[in-house]
Amino acid sequence: MLYRENGQFKVSYTADQQIFPIRQDRVAMLLLLALAFVAVPLLASEYLFRAILIPFLILSLAAIGLNILVGYCGQISLGTGAFMAVGAYAAYNFQVRIEGMPLIASLLLGGVCATVFGVLFGIPSLRIKGLYLAVATLAAQFFTDWAFLRIKWFTNDSASGSVSVAGMQVLGMSIERPVGKYLFCLGFVVVFALLAKNLVRSHIGREWMAIRDMDVAAAVIGIRPVYAKLTAFAVSSFIVGVAGALWGFVHLGSWEPAAFSIDRSFQLLFMVIIGGLGSIVGSFFGAAFIVILPILLDNLPQWAGIPIDTALASHLTFMIFGALIVFFLIVEPHGLARLWSTAKEKLRLWPFPH
């Protein structure tokens, strides 16, 4: 009833090319942003910020980055954890070694280093495809695990191999409090999500999708696979690298290579697959599913007031979570994003489905 586009005529190309062509969507988006930027900082508790919202935002950002590579360009990567690690350690080194380095600059430079690294490890994609490429990107994962554990220089000669940052500030304002951290991450996520959305709608994004759907056909119509694949690797690893830097700096504060292990790569790949390949909003859904759901499940028995053994609670969480993954993949193999768009289509016709 409310969600209907009747009477919204587009009279210019700009109007037709908007990200949200339907007015209700635009309003909903603005409301969501207002909620995220104003209401949440006023209402949320510290636990909600630190344990749920901040990891959710950062991993959403990483999922957006990975989605560009896997969902839009069709290049399967298992090196996401590695790209995050490069971003985090590079940002750390910029922060520690250069006196007075602004925080945002070091995070972005961390992203730049991840880009270089990503392009380097993206080169095999020119020759190998699919699962073989996944195996090749695994090399990136093992390489960073090795490098950040063994090469002392990267960790500023820390005896234990663990690095940490403290006293973060942006433009003279300290962001040590959870609200500050949350808003900082939110800013990054909003800007990068907007950039990514526009990028995938541009000619570059269309090249990526052409390569994904059939690379020979794409080459025939004049798309250079080298350029398309490597730009996808570059953009993806830049975003993933910034997310990695945020994960280390803002969420953990102190980290070791285990924070960016192969498990992280798998976790992000699952986010993208469950959320929806080739969908920006799907990255958020996937991140929410993987980050928030286990915590919710873990907390449920206690809120319900059922005294339950800790080990049993953990095991139940794993079981229910696993069952839900299977359930969603059977119900909608194209991910939560497709469920979302189906729901929107139904809403347009509601209450008179035909």
Partner 1 sequence: MKLKSLLTAAIVGTAGLASLITAPAALAQVKEQYFPALIYRTGAYAPNGVPWANGFVDYLKLVNARDGGINGVKIAYEECDTAYATDKGVECYERLKGKSAGAVYHPFSTGITFALTEKAPADKNPLITAGYGRSESVDGTVFKWNFPLMGTYWDGADILMQHLTKKEGGSLKGKKIALVYHDSPYGKEPIPLLQKRAGMQGFELQLLPVAAPGVEQKATWLQIRQSRPDYVLIWGWGVMNSAALKEAVATGYPREKMFGVWWSAGEPDVKDLGEAAKGYSGLLATGTKGKVHEDIKRLLHDKSQGTGPIEELHTALYNRGMVSAALTVEGVRRAQERFGKGKVMTGDQIRWGLENLNIDAKRIEQMGMTGIMIPVSTSCVDHEGARSARIHTWNGKAFEPVTPWIEADSAIIKPLIKEFAAKYAAEKKIPPRTPEDCQS
Q: Which residues contact partner 1 by CB under 8 A?
A: 43-48, 50-52, 55, 96, 145, 149, 159-162, 164, 166-167, 176, 251-256, 258-259, 295-296, 298-300, 303, 309-311, 313-315, 318, 339, 342-343, 346-347, 350
- Nearer to partner 1 by Cβ, of 120 and 261: the residue is 261
d(CA 227, CA 98): 34
d(CA 138, CA 79): 5
Nearest distance, CB of residue 323 and partner 1, angstroms? 14
- Nearer to partner 1 by Cβ, of 105 and 343: the residue is 343
Nearest distance, CB of residue 164 and partner 1, angstroms? 6
- Nearer to partner 1 by Cβ, of 9 and 303: the residue is 303
What count of residues does the chain have?
354
Nearest to 160 by CA among 78, 52, 257: 257
Nearest distance, CB of residue 149 and partner 1, angstroms? 6
Nearest distance, CB of residue 252 and partner 1, angstroms? 6
- Nearer to partner 1 by Cβ, of 10 and 150: the residue is 150
- Nearer to partner 1 by Cβ, of 216 and 311: the residue is 311
Note if the bond before 225 is cis, omega within 30 degrees.
no
Nearest distance, CB of residue 259 and partner 1, angstroms? 6
Nearest distance, CB of residue 226 and partner 1, angstroms? 35
Nearest distance, CB of residue 200 and partner 1, angstroms? 25
- Nearer to partner 1 by Cβ, of 208 and 249: the residue is 249
Nearest distance, CB of residue 314 and partner 1, angstroms? 4
- Nearer to partner 1 by Cβ, of 126 and 331: the residue is 331
Which 3-state string (H, E, C) describes 270-307?
A: HHHHHHCCCCHHHHHHHHHHHHHHHHHHHHHHHHCCCC
DSSP β-ladder status, 173-174 and 163-164: unpaired
Query: Counting beta carbons within 10 angstroms of the beta carbon of residue 62, is it exposed (0 to 12), middle (13 to 18) or buried (19 or more)?
Result: buried
- Nearer to partner 1 by Cβ, of 32 and 343: the residue is 343
Residue 167: both structure tokens together: 């006293």
- Nearer to partner 1 by Cβ, of 55 and 276: the residue is 55
For tokens 């990503």, name the residue: 118
Phi, psi (5° rounding) for residue 241?
-65, -45
Residue 13: both structure tokens together: 């190309």
The Cα-based distances of 101 to 97, 116, 330 in angstroms read 9, 21, 49
What single-letter amino acid sits at 198?
Answer: N
Nearest distance, CB of residue 296 and partner 1, angstroms? 5
d(CA 151, CA 157): 9
Residues in Cβ contact with 84 at an 8 Å cutoff, skipping those fewer than 6 apart: 62, 114, 240, 241, 243, 244, 247, 260, 264
